[in-house]
């Protein structure tokens, strides 16, 4: 499986609902594409203007085909002025390991410069690890670890000092190849 990670940063938090609606529309387009598995938009707990968009594809070729499609190119070109800017975060990641839930309200995202074991234990609903597949030097040899938490306090309890990134996100919208759910209400 290939996981695509994108990070829109809102230019103003007041436009959060507009950004989520736009991304939800993109997810609906993705649902009709061969190889699409799921997509999710999450909001950074410490920095609410930062969103994390994760979408899973059967393999990298499926994502690349869609990424270069006229539909996706039109979507990208049609972004409203001043809505958000994209922050580099390392786009393509290949799945290594997974255990437990792959969805839930809270997600801890860590980027580590080495292999990273799966998290297990009390308060952890599930964990997945991925290896970086693109060419940004900052992410070469890195592992992405996504841990679904039952309790947000677990993220702050044990910060990963070896991580390049260790942050907490709340899920706003999740779309699977066959269904849609909204884990948290937008205010």
Closest-CA residue to 145 (of 90, 105, 183, 64): 90
The pLDDT tens digits of the residues spanning 69-100 come to 999 999 999 989 999 999 999 999 999 999 99
Q: How far is 151 from 92, CA to CA, in rounded Å?
A: 28
Total domain count for the chain? Answer: 1
The burial of 124, by beta-carbon neighbours within 10 Å (0-12 exposed, 13-18 middle, 19 or more buried), is given as buried
**Residue 9, domain CATH:** 3.30.70.100
Q: Look at the alpha carbons of 135, 30, 177, 102 in this order and tell me if their dihedral is positive or negative.
A: positive
Which pLDDT belongs to residue 179? 54
At 156 the pLDDT is 55
Q: Residue 157: pLDDT band by 50, 70, 90 thresholds? A: low
pLDDT of 151: 74
- Structural domain includes residue 187: no
- Nearest Cα residue to 66 out of 35, 41, 93, 40: 35
Region for residue 90 given its phi and psi (left: phi exceeds 0; alpha: psi -120 to 50; beta: otherwise) = left
Range of the domain at 17: 2-181
Nearest of 135, 166, 171, 26 to residue 84 by alpha carbon: 26
**pLDDT score at 17:** 97
Is residue 186 domain-resident?
no
Q: How do beta strands 51-57 and 92-100 pair?
A: unpaired
Instruction: Read off the pTM.
Output: 0.91
């Amino acid at each position: 499986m290939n996981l695509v990670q994108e990070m829109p940063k809102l230019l103003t938090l007041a436009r959060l609902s507009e950004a989520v609606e736009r991304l939800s529309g993109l997810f609906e387009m993705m649902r009709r594409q061969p190889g699409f598995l799921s997509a999710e938009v999450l909001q950074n707990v410490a920095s609410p203007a930062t969103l994390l968009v994760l979408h899973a594809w059967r393999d990298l070729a499926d994502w690349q085909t869609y990424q270069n499609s006229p539909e996706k190119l039109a979507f990208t070109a049609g972004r409203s002025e001043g809505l958000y800017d994209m922050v580099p975060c390392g786009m393509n990641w290949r799945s290594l390991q997974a255990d437990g839930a792959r969805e839930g309200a809270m997600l801890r995202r860590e980027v580590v410069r080495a292999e990273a074991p799966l998290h297990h234990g009390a308060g952890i609903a599930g964990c997945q690890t991925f290896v970086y597949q693109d060419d940004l030097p900052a992410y070469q040899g890195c592992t992405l670890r996504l841990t679904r938490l039952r309790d947000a306090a677990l993220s702050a309890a044990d910060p990963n000092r070896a991580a390049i990134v260790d942050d907490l996100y709340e899920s706003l919208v999740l779309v699977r190849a066959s269904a849609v759910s909204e884990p948290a209400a937008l205010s």
